[in-house]
C-alpha cells in the first residue's frame, strides 16, 4: 500500500505517454530520493513550460516569445518556407544546420482513417502567409509516409497556381545504411532521384 | 516462439508507444488482423517502408501476448504509384475504411481478400471512383449484405427505379422509399451503374465509363449503405469530400 501522496504522484506520472504503472512507480520513487531543491525546480519547470510555451502566431512552432526567434531572426531567408507536420520536425531540421529559411508547422498530416482532413491542419494560415508575396519556394518536408505524401500532393495542388515553386524533400537511403536491407519502395525512389557524380 | 506465414494487404496503422506501430492487415488466410511492428518508426527500421498502407506483402508473424508481431516482410506490390496521385490515394483510403468497418476481425474471408487485391489493381489502372464503388458493392455481397436490386426489400414489390434506401437495404419501390427519409434518388445513370457493378467482374468494372455526376452518386450510395450496415460514419468518406475537388 503506497502512502496517498506517493500514490497520487504515480497516478499522475502514469498518465504520460509511454509510461506504464511500473515505470511511473520507478520515477516517483526516484523523485522522492532527489534533493528537495531539484524537485522544486522540476515542478517549477513543468508549471512554467505549460504557462509560457505557446505556438508562434506566424509559423506555429512552439515558443515562449511571439513571434518565435526563427520568425524574427533577420539572418534567415524569408523567401524559403519549409512546411513540416510537427514542432519536433523543426527541431530535427534545425539540428542538421543546413536550412536557413523559415518554417510553417501544419499540426499533423492528412489521415482519412483518423478523420483528419485538410481543414484540421493549418493550411489556411499557410496560404495567407504565401499571399504576402515574399515567399518564392515552399519545401514540403512532411513525413515520407502515405499521409505525408497525400498532404504534400494536396499542398502542391493549392500552391502551384500561386506561381510559387513547390519542392519535396528527397527520398533515399539513410547515410551509413546498407543497400541490402533497404526496402523496395525506398530503393525505387532512391534510383529515381539519383544524381550525376 | 511460434511463427506463422500470411499474405496480406496493409489497411492502416497507428503509433504505439515510443517507436512501435499497430498495423491493420487483411490477410488471405486469417482475414482482418491487428499486429504489432516493433521500432518501426525509427529511421533504422527495415520494415517501415514495407508496411505502408496498400502494400501487398508476404509476412512472417510471431505469436505475441496481446498482439502478434511482424518478424519479416516480403513486398509483392508496394502500390507506390497510388501515392503519387491524390485522387487514387483518397479512394484507396475509402476502400481500406470500408474493409475496416465492415469485416469483423479474425474471420477468414479469402474471397474478400481476392476482391481487395483486384480493387487495388483497379484503383491504380482505372477510374478510382468506379474502383471504390465496385469494391464496396461486391464486398456487401460477400459479407451477406447484398443490396436488393430488382425487388423491394421491404414489400417485395417492383424496385426497378432509382430509389436507393440504405436503411431498407438497397433499391426499393416508390411507396416504401417515401417511408424512409434517408432514401436517395440516384438518377438513371448511377442506378444503372450500381446494378451493373453489383454483379460485374473487376475487368468489366474497369471498362465502365460514367459521367462525373453519376460516379459521385454511386459513391454517395455505397457510403450511405456501408454506414447503415456498420452503424457508424466512414471517416475516410468525410475527408474524401475535402480532397476530391
Do residues B179 and B94 share a domain? yes
- Return all residues near A66 (Cβ < 8 A) that are at least 6 apart: A54, A56, A57
* Mean pLDDT to the nearest integer, B193-208: 94
Chain A: closest CA distance from residue B230 (Å): 15
B12 contacts in chain A (CB < 8 Å): 113
Do residues B26 and B112 share a domain? no
Do residues B100 and B130 share a domain? yes
User: Phi, psi at residue B217, to the nearest 5°?
Assistant: -70, -35
Q: Of B34, B61, B78, which one is at a domain's C-terminal end?
A: B78
Any idea what the CATH number is for the domain that residue B97 is in?
A: 1.20.1440.120
Domain, as residue range, for B168? 81-244
Domain count, chain B: 2
Q: Give the DSSP letter string of B9-23.
A: EEEEEEEETTTEEEE
Cell numbers at B136, concatenated: 464496396
Q: Does A143 touch chain B (CB under 8 A)?
A: no
Domain count, chain A: 1
Do residues B54 and B89 share a domain? no
Do residues B59 and B106 share a domain? no
Do residues B61 and B132 share a domain? no
Do residues B122 and B115 touch, judged by C-beta distance below 8 A?
no
Domain membership flag for residue A48: no
Do residues A105 and A122 touch, judged by C-beta distance below 8 A?
yes
Do residues B97 and B53 share a domain? no
Three-state SS string over chain A comes to CCCHHHHHHHHHHCCCCCCCHHHHHHHHHHHHHCCHHHHHHHHHHHHHHHHHCEECCCCCCEECCCCCHHHHCCCCCCCEEEEECCHHHHHHHHHHCCCCCEEEECCCCCEHHHCECHHHCCHHHHHHHHHCCCCCEEEECCCCCHHHHHHHHHHHHHHHHHCCEEEECCCCCCCCCCHHHCCHHHHHHHHHCCCCC
The three-state secondary structure class of B109 is coil
Task: Give the tens place of pLDDT for each residue, B67-88.
Answer: 999 999 999 998 988 988 999 9
pTM: 0.89
How many A×B Cβ pairs under 8 Å? 81
Task: Give the tens place of pLDDT for each residue, B94-131.
Answer: 999 999 999 999 899 999 999 999 999 999 999 999 99
Residue of A113, A154, A182 lying closest to B235 (CB–CB): A113
Q: B202: how many CB neighbours lie within 10 A of its CB?
A: 19
Do residues B88 and B116 touch, judged by C-beta distance below 8 A?
no
- Name the residue in chain A with its Cα closest to that of B47: A183
* Mean pLDDT to the nearest integer, B145-150: 92
- The CA-CA-CA angle for residues B51, A83, A142, to 5°, reads 5
| pLDDT for B1 beyond 80 | no
Q: What is the distance between the alpha carbons of residues A170 and A189, in angstroms, rounded to a whole number?
A: 9
Domain membership flag for residue A104: yes
Any idea what the CATH number is for the domain that residue A116 is in?
A: 3.40.1360.10
Q: Of B78, B108, B142, which one is at a domain's C-terminal end?
A: B78
How, if at all, do strands A102-105 and A80-84 pair? parallel
Are the beta carbons of B52 and A145 separated by less than 8 Å?
Answer: yes
Task: Give the tens place of pLDDT for each residue, A24-62.
Answer: 999 999 999 999 999 999 999 999 999 999 999 999 999
Chain B: closest CA distance from residue A119 (Å): 8
Domain, as residue range, for A90? 55-168
Residue of A112, A184, A185 lying closest to B97 (CB–CB): A112
Do residues A120 and A108 touch, judged by C-beta distance below 8 A?
yes
Amino acid at each position: 500500500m503506497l502512502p496517498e501522496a506517493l500514490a497520487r504522484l504515480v497516478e499522475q506520472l502514469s498518465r504520460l505517454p509511454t509510461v506504464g504503472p511500473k515505470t511511473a512507480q520507478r520515477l516517483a520513487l526516484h523523485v522522492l530520493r532527489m534533493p528537495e531543491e531539484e524537485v522544486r525546480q522540476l515542478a517549477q519547470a513543468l508549471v512554467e513550460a505549460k504557462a509560457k510555451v505557446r505556438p508562434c502566431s506566424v509559423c506555429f512552432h512552439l515558443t515562449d516569445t511571439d513571434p518565435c526567434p526563427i520568425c524574427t531572426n533577420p539572418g534567415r531567408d524569408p523567401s524559403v518556407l519549409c512546411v513540416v507536420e510537427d514542432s519536433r520536425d523543426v527541431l530535427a531540421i534545425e539540428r542538421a544546420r543546413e536550412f536557413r529559411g523559415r518554417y510553417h508547422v501544419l499540426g499533423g498530416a492528412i489521415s482519412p482513417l483518423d478523420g483528419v482532413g485538410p481543414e484540421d491542419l493549418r493550411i489556411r494560415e499557410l496560404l495567407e502567409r504565401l499571399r504576402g508575396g515574399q515567399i518564392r519556394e515552399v519545401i514540403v518536408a512532411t513525413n515520407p509516409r502515405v499521409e505525408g505524401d497525400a498532404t504534400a500532393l494536396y499542398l502542391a495542388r493549392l500552391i502551384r497556381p500561386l506561381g510559387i515553386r513547390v519542392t519535396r524533400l528527397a527520398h533515399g537511403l539513410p547515410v551509413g545504411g546498407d543497400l541490402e536491407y533497404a526496402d523496395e519502395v525506398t530503393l525505387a525512389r532512391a534510383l529515381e532521384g539519383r544524381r550525376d557524380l | 516462439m511460434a511463427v506463422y506465414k500470411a499474405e496480406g494487404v496493409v489497411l492502416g496503422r497507428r503509433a504505439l508507444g515510443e517507436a512501435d506501430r499497430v498495423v491493420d492487415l487483411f490477410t488471405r488466410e486469417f482475414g482482418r488482423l491487428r499486429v504489432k511492428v516493433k521500432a518501426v518508426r525509427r529511421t533504422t527500421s527495415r520494415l517501415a517502408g514495407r508496411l505502408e498502407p496498400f502494400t501487398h506483402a508476404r509476412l512472417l508473424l510471431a505469436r505475441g501476448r496481446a498482439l502478434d508481431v511482424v518478424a519479416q516482410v516480403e513486398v509483392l506490390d508496394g502500390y507506390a504509384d497510388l501515392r503519387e496521385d491524390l485522387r487514387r490515394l483518397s479512394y484507396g483510403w475509402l476502400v481500406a475504411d470500408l474493409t475496416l468497418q465492415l469485416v469483423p476481425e479474425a474471420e477468414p474471408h479469402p474471397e474478400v481478400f481476392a476482391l481487395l487485391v483486384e480493387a487495388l489493381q483497379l484503383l491504380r489502372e482505372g477510374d478510382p471512383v468506379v474502383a471504390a464503388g465496385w469494391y464496396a458493392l461486391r464486398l456487401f455481397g460477400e459479407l451477406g449484405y447484398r443490396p436488393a436490386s430488382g425487388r423491394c426489400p421491404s414489400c417485395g414489390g417492383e424496385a426497378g427505379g432509382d430509389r436507393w434506401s440504405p436503411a431498407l437495404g438497397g433499391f426499393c419501390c416508390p411507396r416504401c422509399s417515401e417511408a424512409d427519409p434517408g432514401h436517395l434518388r440516384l438518377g438513371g445513370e448511377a442506378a444503372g451503374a450500381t446494378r451493373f457493378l453489383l454483379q460485374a467482374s473487376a475487368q468489366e468494372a474497369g471498362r465502365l465509363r460514367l459521367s462525373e455526376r453519376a460516379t459521385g452518386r454511386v459513391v454517395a450510395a455505397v457510403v450511405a449503405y456501408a454506414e447503415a450496415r456498420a452503424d457508424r460514419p466512414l471517416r475516410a468518406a468525410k475527408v474524401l469530400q475535402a480532397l476530391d475537388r
